[in-house]
Amino acid sequence: MDFVLPNATGLGLFAAAALGLSALLASSALAFAIVKYAGAAYLIWMGLRKLFAPVPGLATGASALARHSNWRLFRDGFIVNLLNPKTALFFLAFLPQFVDVALGHVAVQIFTLGILFTALGLITDTSYAMAAGIAGSWLRGNRSYLRFERYFSGFLYIGLGVTAALAGNGKK
């Protein structure tokens, strides 16, 4: 079973929140728009790649399906999370609720909360990955599923990208 370290981007976003970079996204319409449109473009590109790439499993059987390296899976997940400004804004809104300014060292408190959040995410995401690995073995051999998954996920990525591009930034 392939294992990809989950929540690695979360660690970077917690550090960014601790350093105040999330506040920059919250206060700068330009910075938010740049990250938003880059993320939307990446999702659309992934959808188009999914729709138009050859699917060896359909032509020659499941054994010919391409196996991506752990590095590629990690990189793709990292980029998707990194280009999601709403994740950074979530940390900006969520973590400060649990920080006590009277205790001092606000950045350390935020980073500690981020580490705890990441550890909990690691446990749950690992469980999901293990279940997906078991189900994936069966699904890779199912030709009907491979056809359905190709079009469903391709159009889903494109739809999410278009929605992200057209969504407002929540400021009035």
Is residue 113 within 8 Å of 15, Cβ to Cβ? Answer: no
1 found inside a domain: no
Query: Which DSSP state fits 79?
Result: H
Q: What angle do CA 46, 84, 22 make, to 5 degrees?
A: 160
In whole angstroms, give the CA distance from residue 106 to residue 165.
33
140 found inside a domain: yes
Q: Which domain holds residue 106?
A: 8-166
SS3 16: helix
| Counted domains in the chain | 1
73 found inside a domain: yes
63 found inside a domain: yes
Q: Write out the DSSP string of 80-115.
A: HHHT-HHHHHHHHHHGGGG--GGG--HHHHHHHHHH
For 3, half-sphere exposure in the C-beta direction (CA atoms, 13 angstrom radius) is: 6
171 found inside a domain: no
Residue 76, Cα to own-chain centre: how many angstroms? Answer: 8
Residue located via tokens 């699904």: 139
pLDDT digit string (tens) for the chain, length 172 residues: 333 344 555 566 666 666 666 667 677 888 778 878 888 898 899 899 989 887 655 555 444 456 778 888 788 877 777 777 666 677 767 777 788 888 888 888 888 888 888 888 889 888 988 898 888 877 877 888 888 888 999 999 999 999 988 987 555 4
2 found inside a domain: no
Distances (CA, A) of 107 to 58, 114, 161, 164: 51, 10, 33, 30
48 found inside a domain: yes
43 found inside a domain: yes
pLDDT at 7: 52
Which of 100, 128, 94, 85 is CA-nearest to residue 114? 94
Residue 31, Cα to own-chain centre: how many angstroms? Answer: 19
pLDDT at 1: 32
Q: CB within 8 A of 156, min separation 6: which ones? A: 47
